[in-house]
Amino acid sequence: MVDAYSNLSDVRVGNFPWCLKGCKIHATVRRHLIPLFKAVIIEGEVYTLSAFSVVDAYGLCRPTRHPCRLFFHSTTILEKMVCRAIKMNGLSLVDIGQINSHSCDSNYLVDFMGVMTGISSQNEFLKDGQRVKMIVVEISDHRGFCHVVLFGEIVDYLVQMMTTLDGGLPVVVIQFAKIRFFRGRVLLQNIQNLTRMLFNPPVDESVLLGRRLSKMRGGPAMTVPLIGPPVKPSVVDDFLRLYPKKTIAELKSTSDDGPFIVSGVVDGLVIGEDWWYPSCRCSKRLIINAGYYYCRGCSKHVFEFVPRFRVKIHVTDGIDDAMFVLSDDDVRYLTRTKCSIQLSSSKQVLEGINPPSALMKIEGLKLLFKIVMVSSLNPIYKGAFKVSRVCLDPDIFNAFSLKGTRHTPAKQVYRPVMSEVVYPSGLIEEINQHGEYLSNKRLAGSFDNTLGEEIADHHKRSRDC
């Protein structure tokens, strides 16, 4: 089934009384009917419909608040018409104050507009063995600010659009964004192949906001500041350029903190150790409290958990050996499987009697390990080394071996940021709100000072026209 959002939600539906109120409704074209309607439905056009079904609205990503939903049939008839009462942009804008008032996830997608007052470096994370791009942007209006987490192809579009801007803080409209409540704060997230992002769009609300922004002191001269931690290094930089190399013996004897690169062969899994743990949706490990799972990150009891890998392995470099701990992302990258799938495979696995056969694929692999040495590391890693990243690329491994003997620099050449110490594996582990970025308090004040003047001016120009 394919959801046809865009301006299908603005169609005039028969003679229903609510069709004349400027409402929007969700319409769906099922997968097998796409070829029939693909050439007929043109975005931006207005149609009258007949011979369709009306059902109750449902779903975790609902683009409108209308209680009903339309389903197209093979017999559905569309007739093109002209209706100036229907908005061509299909926007139903809410302000950021309304977004920040949420205290849980919302199934209703929102449209909102604001000024981009911050952007993070582009980062990547693993999902189902594939690397997915991610960027966080900060959007502000007169009611405050919020962070929008963007994944996938929309990141490429954002990067491309940022290169075309002439300077200044752009007015951004984001359509169909998902509200997420994560670790006590509200975030917005895009939906793949649905969420839209418009820069300085030619709509009245955007033009009005742009004029108010231009009257702010220094507004047009500002550039979008960088927020959050620095970009995650590439695999080549991580394993060949940035960090010192060590043998396992040198790793055991060092007292320095920081990332180190070690090569070795996985000799086997550590017998008798747990290979998974229950985690909250926020990615924090759950503990037992009063007979129930408790999340310290969310500060509450939870009754549903997400299983994640944490696997202890023996690694040898031919001279010495040690225990390494692989995170959920690393195990999924090496085995191409999810922990939840392995837990549901058999009763023996669920009871922790034996590790699943999928984990045996790790044995015998020749890998490069990025080891994070932190003196205050979680006690769970005592006696073992925390692996931050693994590499099995043969070209990188050969380049690592050809660069001469391993060495230990006289002093630490790089200090890790927290994102390398606590490896993210959920929606996003933390969004750093520190650093140099625009004062949202000052921005909100500037909006308030020009709001009344601009609204009056806008209405005057409308009357003159």
Confidence of residue 412 (pLDDT cuts 50, 70, 90): very low
Predicted pLDDT of residue 21: 56
Q: How far apart (Å, rounded) are the C-alpha atoms in residues 75 and 264?
A: 64
Instruction: Find the mean pLDDT for residues 13-27.
Output: 60
Instruction: Find the mean pLDDT for residues 168-189.
Output: 87
Q: How far apart (Å, rounded) are the C-alpha atoms in residues 8 and 47?
A: 9
Which one-letter amino acid corresponds to residue 160? Q
Using alpha carbons only, give the angle 42, 188, 281 rounded to the nearest 5 degrees. 120
Please tell me the pTM assigned to this model. Answer: 0.55
Q: How far apart (Å, rounded) are the C-alpha atoms in residues 396 and 155?
A: 27
Q: How far apart (Å, rounded) are the C-alpha atoms in residues 225 and 136?
A: 12
Taking Cα atoms as reference points, which of 345, 422, 424 lies closest to residue 386? Answer: 422
Is the pLDDT higher at 13 or at 311?
Answer: 311
pLDDT tens readout for residues 366-394: 999 999 887 655 555 667 898 999 998 88
The residues with which 226 forms a beta bridge, in sequence order, are: 119
Pairing of strands 185-190, 171-182: antiparallel
Per-residue burial over 73-99, b if 16 or more Cβ lie within 10 Å, else e, is eeebebeeeeeeebeebbbbbeebeeb
In this model, does residue 439 exceed pLDDT 60?
A: no
In this model, does residue 433 exceed pLDDT 70?
A: no
Q: How far apart (Å, rounded) are the C-alpha atoms in residues 428 and 182?
A: 9
Instruction: Find the mean pLDDT for residues 125-131.
Output: 70
Predicted pLDDT of residue 380: 53
Pairing of strands 366-373, 258-269: antiparallel
In this model, does residue 20 exceed pLDDT 70?
A: no
Count other C-beta atoms under 10 Å from residue 150's C-beta: 24
Looking at the chain, the whole-number percentage of residues with pLDDT higher than 90 is 21
pLDDT tens readout for residues 139-173: 988 788 889 999 889 999 998 888 888 767 888 99
Q: How far apart (Å, rounded) are the C-alpha atoms in residues 268 and 326?
A: 13
Q: End-to-end CA distance of the chain, in Å?
A: 46
Predicted pLDDT of residue 403: 60
Is the pLDDT higher at 164 or at 445?
Answer: 164
Of 55-64, 242-251, 305-314, 404-413, the least confident: 404-413
In this model, does residue 102 exceed pLDDT 70?
A: yes
Confidence of residue 46 (pLDDT cuts 50, 70, 90): confident
Which one-letter amino acid corresponds to residue 432? N
Predicted pLDDT of residue 346: 56
Predicted pLDDT of residue 219: 46
Predicted pLDDT of residue 364: 92
- Mean pLDDT of the residues in the chain: 76
Looking at the chain, the whole-number percentage of residues with pLDDT higher than 70 is 73
Predicted pLDDT of residue 349: 52
Q: How far apart (Å, rounded) are the C-alpha atoms in residues 407 and 184?
A: 45
pLDDT tens readout for residues 194-253: 899 998 888 777 777 766 665 553 444 467 877 766 666 778 888 888 888 888 998 888
Predicted pLDDT of residue 264: 92
pLDDT tens readout for residues 446-456: 444 444 444 44
Pairing of strands 68-71, 26-29: parallel
Instruction: Find the mean pLDDT for residues 31-41.
Output: 90
In this model, does residue 437 exceed pLDDT 50?
A: no
Of 199-208, 257-266, 345-354, the least confident: 345-354
In this model, does residue 422 exceed pLDDT 70?
A: no
Instruction: Find the mean pLDDT for residues 327-348.
Output: 82
Token readout for 292 is: 């129930």
